[in-house]
Amino acid sequence: MSKTLLALGTIALLGTIMMVNQPEQLDFASKYQTFKQKYGKAYSQAEDAYRMAVYTQNVLYAESVNLQQGKRVFGETIFFDLTKEEFAETYLTLKITQDDLNVERVPAKNISAADKIDWTQKGAVTKVKDQGQCGSCWTFGTTGVLEGFFFTTTGELPNLSEQQLLDCSTFQDFNLGCNGGLPARALQYVKRSGITTQDAYEYKGVQGSCKIKGGAYHIKGSVALEPTEEALISYLNEGPVSVGVDASNWQYYNPSDEKVFSTCEKSLNHAVLAVGYDKDSFKVKNSWGTAWGDKGFIHLKRGQNTCGIYDTNVVPV
């Protein structure tokens, strides 16, 4: 970003800030320095002024939403130095079309569902990973559901390779590397070729040429779930489920303010992994590292298709 654009952006943001009536004067410079130290942020002198303005605008926006809601629903996160546009460009890259939604879907299983379940406590979920500055959420939504599938069917929890999907599940599957993709299409690659492990094909966070095609872990295919809470609950009783969500407001999710999150729309733009539920919420594993959210997880309110969590769910078979 040029110095001219940075300066113009700073002026525009500071103009917005000055129009907001704050009940008390906040020391934004001090808060910004604390933020940078907490998350290990570092910028050039020119960009630092712009990032402080962005940070300040995000603080003010979060506070304005909290005032409107009458409670603290938004709070500071590791992404408070990004504009909404920058955040979306890097992290909200699920590529889904109407054709992807108009697929044959399976109904809820006829089971007696548990009152609550958490596959992280049952050994079916690998540690929280970090996609970095690559729009590869779709690869993490794919490996996560596969790792859970192999655990529940074989007793083994493999740590599977997102980089292999990034490099190898490309044009044939209509996936676009760091520019986005879809777990349902990546699972077609795994059906054809199999998938290997993280140790064999380490994550780099940039798309490269396909170095290893396939691997020892194979599936017969995958099924899409009907868009209901009953279907998601029933399949979560068998293992983790790859889900698509609208994560536009996850830039502001801080569980110390409100653990169960519901302030979002339903324009699907991010792939994640549902790993459990209780009477209040679905527990969801993200791919933005442990510094975000509830140590890398978010809890989405049940009963209202929060963030579109019912709408594009898939599991391997």
- SS3 for 114-161 is CCCEECCCCCCCCCCCECCCCCCHHHHHHHHHHHHHHHHHHCCCCCEC
What's the rounded Cα separation, in Å, for the pair 132 and 5? 25
What is the tens place of the pLDDT at every residue in 243-260? Answer: 999 999 999 999 887 899
Read off the tokens for 223. 């099924």
Give how far Cα 19 sits from Cα of 8, 34, 60, 205, 252, Å. Answer: 17, 25, 11, 40, 21
Question: What is the rounded CA–CA span in Å between residue 56 and residue 14?
Answer: 9
pLDDT of residue 269: 96
pLDDT recorded at residue 1: 46
Residue 142: pLDDT band by 50, 70, 90 thresholds? Answer: very high
CA 299 to chain centre: 12
216-226 pLDDT tens trace: 999 999 999 99
At which residue do the structure tokens 């192999």 appear? Answer: 150
For residue 7, pLDDT beyond 50? no
DSSP helix/strand/coil, 76: coil
Q: How confident is the model at residue 24 (pLDDT cuts 50, 70, 90)?
A: very low
Q: How confident is the model at residue 72 (pLDDT cuts 50, 70, 90)?
A: confident
Average pLDDT over residues 90-97: 92
Active site residues: 137, 270, 286
